[in-house]
Structure 1
Amino acid sequence: MYVFSNLVHMIRVWHRYQTSLRELSRLGDRELADIGILRADIQRVAWEAARVD
């Protein structure tokens, strides 16, 4: 049961990561700057957001 619940958790985290990554990538440089994110930081920010439960 633990393996299944861990797998479900990782799928949910991956889905949140992909959603955040897609949304942040659509923003322009000016919009990213307004929220304090550099384009180079998008993957890190998306991963941090995805891991929050």
Structure 2
Amino acid sequence: MSIEKIKKKLLKSDDNLKNSEIQDPIELALHGKKFTEISLEDIERVSENEQSKYTENSS
């Protein structure tokens, strides 16, 4: 048995109110529909670019 917290948001548009569920980001990451793909090379390139920002500034 599991107990889940469900967060809701209430949106107002003109004279309409819409109640919708805010999905848990961890659940979305694990079980949600995947919409993009990233390669290990892309991750490494971004990591190196971000790290170079710090090494250039510390000189």
TM-score normalised over the length of structure 1:
0.37
| Structure with a larger share of its residues in helix | 1
Bigger Rg, which one: 2
